[in-house]
Amino acid sequence: MAEAVMHLRDVAREFVSGDETLHVLRGVNFTLNAGETVALVAPSGTGKSTLLHVAGLLDHPDSGTVRIAGRDAAKLPDGERTAIRCSEIGFVYQFHHLLGEFTARENVMLPQMIAGVPKAQARVRADELLGLFGLGHRLNHLPGKLSGGEQQRVAIARALANAPSILLADEPTGNLDVATADVVFDELLRVVRGSGLGALIATHNDDLARRMDRVVALRDGVLVEL
């Protein structure tokens, strides 16, 4: 049986605005297994980012459990949550969010160095990851000198830098033109499948969703399997 890398149970999240309460997540149950790719689909504004942020330990649920690496991370103190996030979770956003004053290589080295990896080792891993995305000739380029597709490839490489067990991605190719999105998405799936981690990837694109192993949809605050 596949090993679960993440387990969400009865996860709820609401936002209060004035005298109105928006129940975005109403009891999400979800298991992500090692080695599987899962598409998260839902109309805009229904809570995909909220769910990814709670699953990625960037936000707290109001109730429920977020089990990662055998522990309920939702209830841990911030320092321990950060440590789990750093070692277990890679996050890719729709916009690359690379640090503009650092080269592609340095952007991929940084999370490793924050995790305590020696500089020389971090550099080897950065070069290896960027090579997997065909960027061996762009190592010393600043993000501003890269194309949109290249920037997003660097952001994906950065998310994988600390060899996480979970990759979470929020519309990772949503900001690219259709042809580039197609290629970058296939590269992402190839590298993810080659590394054996579990990936939950939000997308509005049905064609991209179909390339993944499973598709789940967020409907009225709960996840349903499609």
Ligand X SMILES: Nc1ncnc2c1ncn2[C@@H]1O[C@H](COP(=O)(O)OP(=O)(O)OP(=O)(O)O)[C@@H](O)[C@H]1O
Nearer to ligand X, 92 or 157 (CB): 92
Distance (Å, whole) CA 129 – CA 126: 5
Contact string (CB under 6 A) for ligand X, positions 50-89, x = contact: x---------------------------------------
In angstroms and rounded to an integer, the radius of gyration of the C-alpha atoms of the chain is: 17
Interface region with ligand X, contact rule CB under 6 A, candidates 2-10, 43-51, 82-90, 103-111: 43-51
Contacts 24+ apart (CB under 8 A), 72-76: 74/11
User: Is 175 one of the binding residues for ligand X (CB under 6 A)?
Assistant: no
- In angstroms, give the least distance from the CB of 165 to ligand X: 23
User: Is 172 one of the binding residues for ligand X (CB under 6 A)?
Assistant: no
Helix (H) or strand (E) holding 202: strand 198-202
User: Is 19 one of the binding residues for ligand X (CB under 6 A)?
Assistant: no
Helix (H) or strand (E) holding 214: strand 214-219
Name 46's Cβ contacts closer than 8 Å, sequence gap at least 6: 24, 218, 219
Comparing CA positions, the residue from 157, 155, 90, 93 lying closest to residue 123 is 157
Nearer to ligand X, 150 or 170 (CB): 170
Nearer to ligand X, 42 or 83 (CB): 42
Binding site for ligand X (CB under 6 A): 15, 17, 22, 24, 42, 44-50
